[in-house]
Amino acid sequence: MLWSLGKDSNVMLWLTRKAFIGRVPFPVVHVDTGKKFSEMYAFRDRYKEDWNLNLICGECPPIETIDPSLPPAARSAARKTEGLKAIMDKEAFAGVFAGIRRDEQAVRARERVFSPRGLNAEWEQHDQPAEFWGQYTT
């Protein structure tokens, strides 16, 4: 499970603990940009200990290694994606899940409960498996 330390992923972590009676039975992944406030790292480390989390931290590559022709926001997103891909390769994860809000960005509104990606973490939004239960898209 991805844990950015933001509100959405904190809610996912809390709900996971509720569902599994106070524990998180799988690794929690933090892709570190190196741009967080020191208080956020202290928060992460405190809850890692208090909740006995199997925390896997990985770093994003330096911004200089990302295509400089990209707009700043896309370049930042690409940096985070590369960091996540490196962790997934190292840990041999078959998948990850995260908490996102559909109302924050138009592209997120097209996400589904299960949004398979290709080998390069590319998402073909028009070629997704059917979702049979309407309650997932409410």
Residue 105 pLDDT: 65
Residue 10 pLDDT: 93
pLDDT per residue as tens digits for the range 47-84: 999 999 999 999 999 989 999 999 998 898 899 989 98
**pLDDT, greater one: 2 or 115:** 2
**pLDDT, greater one: 57 or 112:** 57
pTM confidence score = 0.76
On average, the pLDDT of the chain sits at 84
Residue 113 pLDDT: 61
Q: How many CB atoms lie within 10 A of CB 22?
A: 9
The string of DSSP letters for the chain reads: -B--SSHHHHHHHHHHHHHTTT---S-EEEEE-S-S-HHHHHHHHHHHHHTT--EEEEEPPPGGGS-TTS-HHHHHHHHHHHHHHHHHHHHT-S-------TTT-HHHHT--SS----TTS---TTS------GGGG-
Q: Could you give the percent of the chain with pLDDT greater than 70?
A: 72
Choice among 1-15, 32-46, 59-73, 102-116 with the minimum mean pLDDT: 102-116
